[in-house]
Amino acid sequence: MKKFSCILLSLFLVVSIFAVVASAENITYEQWQEYYTTCDNTKIMLTPGADETQMNFCWHSVRDKDNSKPVIKLSKNKDMSDCAEFKGYSTFSDLPEQRVNNVTVTSLEENTTYYYTYGTEQVQSEAETFRTNSFDSFKFLYISDAQPSYKDDLTERAFKWNRTLESAFNSNDDISFIVNAGDVTNYGKPTEEWTAFLSPEYLRSYPMAATQGNHDKKGTTYKYYFNNPNVYLGFAPTVYGNGYYFTYGDVLFVMINSMKINIFDNYKLIKKAVEENPDTKWRVAVMHYDVYGTGHHAIQDDVIAAKRSIVPVLESYDFDIALTGHDHIYGRSYFMEDDKVVETEGYDSGSVTDPEGIIYFTQTASSGNTRAETYDFEWLGKTVLSENDCYSTIEITDEGQLKLVSVDSITGEAIDTFTITKTDFTFEEKKMENGYIGEMLEPLMGEYFVIYKVIYQIFTFSWLFNF
Ligand SMILES: [Fe+2]
Ligand SMILES: [Fe+2]
77-124: per-residue pLDDT in tens?
999 999 999 999 999 998 999 999 999 999 999 999 999 999 998 889
Q: Which ligand is nearest to the CA of 365?
A: 1
Cα torsion 57, 58, 59, 61: sign: positive
Q: How far is the CA of 288 from the centre of ligand 2 (A)?
A: 7
Q: Which ligand is nearest to the CA of 293?
A: 2
Q: How far is the CA of 380 from the centre of ligand 1 (A)?
A: 19
| pLDDT single digits (tens) 152-162 | 999 999 999 99
CA 249 to chain centre: 17
Tell me what pLDDT residue 23 has: 45
Q: Indicate the helix (H) or strand (E) that contains 48.
A: strand 45-48
Strand 128-131 versus strand 84-87 pairing type: unpaired
- H helices of 105-209, where? 154-171, 191-198
The answer to whether 105 and 49 have CB atoms below 8 angstroms apart is: yes
| pLDDT single digits (tens) 405-442 | 999 999 999 999 999 999 999 998 888 877 877 877 87
Bigger pLDDT: 150 or 6?
150
Summarize the confidence of residues 12-19 as an average pLDDT. 47
The answer to whether 47 and 208 have CB atoms below 8 angstroms apart is: yes
| pLDDT single digits (tens) 207-254 | 999 999 999 999 999 999 999 999 999 989 999 999 999 999 999 999
Q: Which ligand is nearest to the CA of 212?
A: 2
Distance CA 365, CA 347 (A): 25
Distance CA 137, CA 317 (A): 23
Q: Which ligand is nearest to the CA of 148?
A: 1
| Distance set, CA 326 to CA 47, 310, 363 (Å) | 21, 16, 8
Tell me what pLDDT residue 462 has: 58
Q: How far is the CA of 288 from the centre of ligand 1 (A)?
A: 8
Q: Which ligand is nearest to the CA of 218?
A: 2
Bigger pLDDT: 14 or 416?
416
Specify the amino acid at residue 256: I
Q: Indicate the helix (H) or strand (E) that contains 36.
A: helix 29-36
Q: Could you tell me which of 433, 436, 431, 391 has the C-alpha nearest to residue 410?
A: 391
Q: How far is the CA of 312 from the centre of ligand 2 (A)?
A: 22
**Cβ neighbours for 130, distance < 8 A, ≥ 6 positions apart:** 46, 55, 113, 114, 116, 204, 205, 206, 207
Q: What is the DSSP letter of 274?
A: H
Per-residue confidence at 5, pLDDT binned at 50, 70, 90?
very low
Extract the runs of DSSP E, i.e. beta strands, from 302-343: 321-324, 330-333, 336-337, 340-341
Q: How many residues does the chain have?
A: 467
Query: Does residue 1 register a pLDDT over 90?
Result: no
**Cβ neighbours for 7, distance < 8 A, ≥ 6 positions apart:** none
Q: How far is the CA of 218 from the centre of ligand 2 (A)?
A: 11
Tell me what pLDDT residue 372 has: 86
